[in-house]
Chain A
């Protein structure tokens, strides 16, 4: 970091491009799912830009964009349109990109992020608009002649892309990272994008300038590209903050330019000057009528919004008594949050204490052993074999005193490896249950004799008391009894 006498702060605004996971491309019926396809197999005359072909807008992409914009608290104008952005490049099939210039689908939003200092920051969203992706260029070198050449893969061309333009509200590389994490989380919650930076379906360009802390003016901004991970964004911005601060401290003028992050070298290099603005000669796309939305339609999309991460986190804290940190972790992805709640599915809704107690136990398993094993195996929650109800069962087995904490971890490991229910594992592992009624009956008799108060409670009509007695049977048998058989036998013996 900078060691200059004046304290500098960064002013950062991020532009994020996220591929939308629609079935077909934005303007033709080609499949947009080309991840595992051979080059140039998801193409047609339209996305190849052949003469005479015309774009037809994918309604699903509009809905996904509007849904995202609503999740980012944007205004949705009733009228928007598409424009042509003209620039020649071999990855651009038509010689122009269909995008939205001055009338985007949404405007003026915000999202709340962790400010990296224990507080929150409301980061402005300038706009979310819909456009099309370009083809992919593959640069090669001829193995014989050593001549460089390029190949074009058109599979990606025309895939719907939403551009999320952020206000320059971020002040540190960490805030930029938090902002990206938040966007990714929301996109994944909505199910509108895979939002995976490494796979290239979530891309980030950063505009960054520096200024003395406390100043309200903006310095010359530098655009940084080629960042293919969250880590890269963080380090590239740290590098820029340092580089620009040093230059500013030395009284140098910071040129407006585009710089590229060089991964292996941990630095940015100048790519081209932006002192003279590019002229993209935008004009309204005559092949597509304007998009006219109705308030009813927009409200319909709003109604489809799932519970968003912030709301879910707050609810988890309130309803389950989790700490904000636990709630944060459990709501990290929608799948994880759903898993958590599935494990609590049949908790008594009227019994707060029981629900919280179960929630605590499930959270502990999920954030402890499950998370540890997931990390070790690199498994996403969706790929985990342990069923949510098995965690609940495991908690019951433990509460019943059937197995020790150490045993429970071994059982969980087996659950993770095999996907089997905890009961089955306990049995197979020689922690097997007593099935002979005679043996069990003897133990039941002992337990009843030893605990007159619960017996009296049960006889007085307090059904709950049986749970305690079952627990005692389980403890006495070291978990080898079948809790259901034990319960039945207890009731019989007590003349239930």
Chain B
């Protein structure tokens, strides 16, 4: 519409900002709304478009997860610790999206330091699922996912360490893509677990995600773990053709934990893809899958325990002072600045790395990690993509799992192995169960995001799930 000049970027941004004002009280997708910045950026986008310049993202309103550093705009990471932290630098992804002309509506709410699966761990407020405000949007990128689902942004960024893009995308009925580890620069992404973290896009359609990823991906000299490999033409690869594509179905992802209604949706989606010409390869085996959760809860907290050591009140962020001396101030800063889940993981990680335990936990976990990678490698000899559910259930109720960390952790069992192996994974809407969205997960070979996107887009050409809007959204939009 922007390209056809039926709508100006300023008009679009104003309508999204109005939408934000209308639905935020019931959704709470944003930690910070940056209306002034959005208006300036939208005006700039219109000037660019008037000159016939700009790209597909010029003037498109997006939500940036509050884990990404934004110069001059506070970046809280959902934590008291960084409540007033204003970075003097932009994350590479923020800069790239800005350069692509995207308009930042605000900073998306999240579980504190991206630790959580429900966005209930935000230090500020929970975010609610637009499909049912009594339910969680998933997490940790719940704000970003809810913003897109509720029409408070056309696209969003998220970060995915164990499923934090794919799981909320599934629970909010939108598309969320976690790229291959190293595909997108992590510079400016406040680190949770450095060897697992990866930034990716949210969109209503696979096509939107392709456009966002195009702008985000690529080597960055500021991130030594970003990979210097050419970036494909993602949108250009969306041929709608899945004929001959071999889709592997791993039995380990269809276990008793999987809600039968969710399972039915996935099976239906697989049948749709088969009808479209894809080859279904059953009996793909990833036998170490059950260990992935354990591996994750060793490696991620271990890395987090070091990554979060810098928050000591000495240099930036929240700082506790009562004259009790340096060490006491540092301890109290961390005691008051961090929430329970963050403290829990710092303790877990500190323990796992301790002398005498390192070999039994961290080292063992790394070995199993290698095993999991190898199993995926072998599976991809027989198929081009793996199809699985994104989550075992649909969105759960606020408070339902917040007192039971283990139950909360289990909501990521299907997404975690993908991070462990560093693979690209995408969740796309594939139906509804109990009136709530269900997500199908596509997992690809390293740096084959194109294959994921092509299959996902082909599926969306056949189905209408992604066109459905939550009632809340429909009501507000119609008003």
Contact = CB atoms under 8 A, between A and B. Distances in A.
Interface of A: 45, 48-57, 84, 86, 88, 90, 93-96, 150, 152, 277, 279, 281-283, 286-289
Contacts of B87: 45, 50-52
A45 B89 contact: yes
A53 B194 CA distance: 11
Interface in B170-193: 186-191, 193
Interface in B303-357: 303, 305-306, 308-310, 312, 314-316, 326, 330, 350, 353-355
A90 B326 contact: yes
Nearest to A280: B355
24 contacts: A50-B315, A51-B82, A51-B87, A52-B91, A53-B188, A54-B224, A56-B224, A57-B224, A86-B305, A90-B330, A93-B310, A93-B315, A95-B312, A152-B315, A281-B350, A281-B353, A282-B353, A283-B306, A283-B353, A286-B194, A286-B195, A286-B303, A288-B224, A289-B224
A279 B187 CA distance: 29
Contacts of B195: 286
Contacts of A277: 355
B462 interface: no
Interface of B: 68-69, 75, 77, 82, 85, 87-89, 91, 186-191, 193-195, 221-225, 302-303, 305-306, 308-310, 312, 314-316, 326, 330, 350, 353-355, 358, 362
Contact of A56 (B193, B221, B305): B221
Contacts of A84: 306
Contact of A52 (B191, B305, B306): B191
A49 B362 CA distance: 25
B345 to A, nearest CB: 14
A281 B354 contact: yes
A96 B221 CA distance: 23
A96 B303 CA distance: 11
A52 B309 contact: no
A131 to B, nearest CB: 15
A95 B310 contact: yes
B316 A50 contact: yes
Nearest to A49: B310
Given A53-B188, A287-B191, 14 more contacts: A45-B88, A50-B89, A50-B316, A51-B75, A51-B190, A51-B310, A52-B68, A52-B69, A52-B188, A88-B330, A150-B326, A152-B315, A281-B354, A286-B195
A279 B28 CA distance: 42
Top-8 shortest CB links A-B: A95-B309, A281-B353, A286-B195, A286-B194, A51-B190, A52-B188, A52-B69, A279-B355
A95 B223 CA distance: 20
B306 A95 contact: yes
Given A90-B326, A283-B306, A287-B225, A49 B315 contact: yes
A150 B305 CA distance: 26
Nearest to B67: A52
A212 B330 CA distance: 46
Nearest to B351: A281
A68 B273 CA distance: 61
A86 B314 CA distance: 17
Given A56-B222, A281-B353, A281-B354, A51 B69 contact: yes
A94 to B, nearest CB: 5
A55 B310 contact: no
A388 B223 CA distance: 50
Contacts of B191: 51-52, 287
A290 to B, nearest CB: 11
B73 to A, nearest CB: 13
Contacts of A48: 315-316
B312 A55 contact: no
B76 to A, nearest CB: 10
A52 B310 contact: no
A347 B77 CA distance: 72
Contact of B309 (A96, A287, A288): A96
A283 B358 contact: yes
Nearest to A149: B326
Contact of A286 (B82, B89, B221, B225): B225
Contacts of A45: 87-89
Contact of A94 (B186, B310, B358): B310
A286 B422 CA distance: 13
B189 A52 contact: yes
A57 B222 CA distance: 10
A46 to B, nearest CB: 8
A283 B187 CA distance: 21
A163 to B, nearest CB: 20
A306 to B, nearest CB: 31
Contacts of B358: 281-283
